Chains A and B, each alone.
Chain A
Amino acid sequence: MDVSLDVSLLEPPEPLERVLDALAGLADGDRLRVKLRRQPFPLYNFLRQMGYEWETTGAEGRFEVLIWSANPAASSR
C-alpha cells in the first residue's frame, strides 16, 4: 500500500521531520509517496543512511518522491 504525505506547504526542516516520522510508522512492504515543491537533497542523504530507496518524479514546484525500504525486514527497527 502507498501512504501519501503532502509537505509542500511546510517550512524547513518540517518536511524532513514529517517524512522521518512517517517512515517510522510505515508498515512492512508499504511505500511512502511524498509531495513537495523542491528536490529534497538533504532527505536523500538520510534515506541512504537508513537503507531506503526512492524515486523522484516531477519538475520545479511540484516533485513527488516515492520511498520504500531496500530491505523490508531490516527496516522495521
Chain B
Amino acid sequence: MLNTAGLSLEQAPPIQVPFRLFLTAPLFLLTAAFILGWQGDAVFVSRWSPAALAVTHLIVIGFLGQIMCGALLQMLPVIAAAPVPAVRFVGSTVNLFLAAGAALLGLGFLGIGQGVLTAGAVCSAIGFLTFLVAASVALTRAKGAAQTIRGIGFAFASLLVTVIVGLLLIGALNGWISIPRLFDFVTMHLAWGLLGWVGLLIAGVAFQIVPMFHVTPAYPAWLTSGLAPVVVAALALGSLLVMNDTKRVAFATFAIVVAAFTLFAAVTAWLQVRRERKRVDATLLHWWVAMACVAAAGIGWALGAAPELIGILILFGLGAGLPAGMLFKIVPFLAWFHLQHRQLASGRLDVRVPNMLKFLPDRWARLQFAIHVLTLLGLLLAWVVPALSSLAAVALGLTAATLGALILASIVRFRRIAEDLASASA
C-alpha cells in the first residue's frame, strides 16, 4: 500500500491566488501589442532594439512568468500532493513584483531611465526568488510523478541562473561591475531563461498533463528521464565555452539543446495523434501550433535563420499560445474543483456541480485560437514587411483581449454558479 491515507494537506490554494495571476497576465500581452503598434518597425528589425527588449520582457515576465507561476502554485498539489507553503502570501508577492517588474523593465528599456530599468530588474528578481523558495519547499514534499518533479527542479535551477545573470547584466549597465563580453552574457541570460526555465518547465508539466488531459500513451521513459539533465548539462557546458570564447564548440552544445526540444515537440505531437479520445479541442490545437513553432524555430536556428524570426516563433507561437491553451483546461478545472469541494464541505452531495465545459465553452476557446493563428501569420508577415507591423499589433491586441475576456468570463461564471449552488443548498 502507498502512503497516501496519512496525508492531511489542504490540497488546493484559495482560488483567488491563481486567478489573480491569470487575470493580470493578458494585460502585459496587451501592453506588448501597444508597443508593437507604436514602434513596430524597430521590434522586427533588430532583437537589440529597445522596443524589442521591452516587448520580450513584457511577454516573458508579465505574461508567461505570471501564468507559469500561477499554474504551478495550483498544479503541484494536484499532481504530486505538494502544496506550496504560505501560498496566499507567495501568490500576492509574485503577482505584485512580477507585474511591477515587467512594467518597469518595459519602461526602462524604452528609455525612461536607467533607474527604472534597475528597479524593474530588482522587482522581477524578488518576484521570481520568492516563488522559487516557496515552490522548492513544495518540491521536497512531492510524492510520485518523479520525472516531472525532477524536470521542474531543473527548470527552477535554470530560472535561478537566469535571474542571477540578469542582475549581473543590470550591474554592468549601471557600471557597478565590469563584464568583459556583455553580449555573451546576454546570450546566456536568454538561453537559460528560454531553454532552461520556460522549455524545461513546459516539458516537465507536459509529461503529466498531456497524457492526463488528452488521454494519450505516456511519454517514453528515455525522454522523461533524459531531457532535463541533458539540457541543463549542455547549457552549463555551452555557457562555460562561451565565456572562454570557444564559440564554435559552444554552438555544438547549444545544438544538443535545440535538438532535444525539437525531439520533445515531435514526440508530443505523435502522442497526441495516438490519443484515446479523438476529440479536437482548442487546447489540443494550441499544443499542435506551439509544437510546430518549436520544431520550426529549432530547424530555423540550425539553418542560421534571423533571431527575430525565431523570436516570433518562440515568444508568440509558443509563449503566448501554449499558456492560453493550458488555461482553457486549468481555469475550468479549478472552478469545478473548488465548487465540488465546497459542496462536499456543506454536506450537499445531491446538488451536483455543472460540467467543466460550462465554465469556458470550447467554441469561445476556438475563437481565441483562430485569432492567435491569424496573429502568428500577421507577425511573420510583418517580419518580412515591417510596414505591416501595425496590423500585426492590432491582431496581437485582439488575441490578448480575447484571452483576458475568456478568463474573466469563466471567473464570473464560477461566482454565479457558486451563488446558485449556495442558494440550492440553503
Interface residues on B, range: 35 or more
Which chain B residue shows the least CB distance to A58? B2
Contacts of B7 in A (CB 8 A): 41, 44
| Segment of B36-44, B46-54, B206-214, B227-235 in the binding face | B206-214
CA distance A12 to B329 in the complex (A): 9
A13, A46, A57: the one within 8 Å of B1 (CB)? A57
- Contact yes or no, A46 B215, CB < 8 A: no
- Contact yes or no, B2 A46, CB < 8 A: no
Interface residues on A, range: 20 to 34
B144 within 8 A of A: yes
- Contact yes or no, A41 B213, CB < 8 A: no
Q: Shortest CB–CB separation between residue B278 and chain A, in angstroms?
A: 12
A53 within 8 A of B: yes
- Contact yes or no, B349 A77, CB < 8 A: yes
B130-154: CB near A (< 8 Å → 1, else 0) gives 0000000000000111000000000
Q: Which of B1-53 contact A (CB under 8 A)?
A: 1-2, 4-5, 7-9, 11-12
B78, B144, B347: the one within 8 Å of A42 (CB)? B78
CA distance A77 to B347 in the complex (A): 9
CA distance A20 to B341 in the complex (A): 12
| Segment of B187-195, B332-340, B376-384 in the binding face | B332-340
- Contact yes or no, A41 B5, CB < 8 A: no
B340-357: CB near A (< 8 Å → 1, else 0) gives 110011010100000010
Contacts of A45 in B (CB 8 A): 9, 11-12, 341
- Contact yes or no, B337 A41, CB < 8 A: no
- Contact yes or no, B4 A46, CB < 8 A: no
CA distance A15 to B329 in the complex (A): 15
Task: Tell me if A's interface is mostly helix, strand, loop or mixed.
Answer: mixed
CA distance A18 to B277 in the complex (A): 17
A50-65: CB near B (< 8 Å → 1, else 0) gives 1001111100110000
Which chain B residue shows the least CB distance to A65? B4
Q: Which of B67-83 contact A (CB under 8 A)?
A: 77-81
Contacts of A37 in B (CB 8 A): 211-212, 218
CA distance A60 to B208 in the complex (A): 11
- Contact yes or no, B1 A20, CB < 8 A: no
Q: Shortest CB–CB separation between residue A25 and chain B, in angstroms?
A: 11
B245 within 8 A of A: no
CA distance A59 to B249 in the complex (A): 42
Contacts of B214 in A (CB 8 A): 11
- Contact yes or no, A42 B337, CB < 8 A: yes
Contacts of A38 in B (CB 8 A): 79, 144-145, 208, 211-212
A/B interface sample: 18 pairs, CB < 8 A: A9-B215, A11-B213, A12-B213, A13-B337, A13-B356, A37-B211, A37-B218, A38-B144, A39-B144, A42-B11, A44-B7, A45-B11, A48-B8, A55-B1, A55-B5, A56-B1, A56-B2, A61-B218
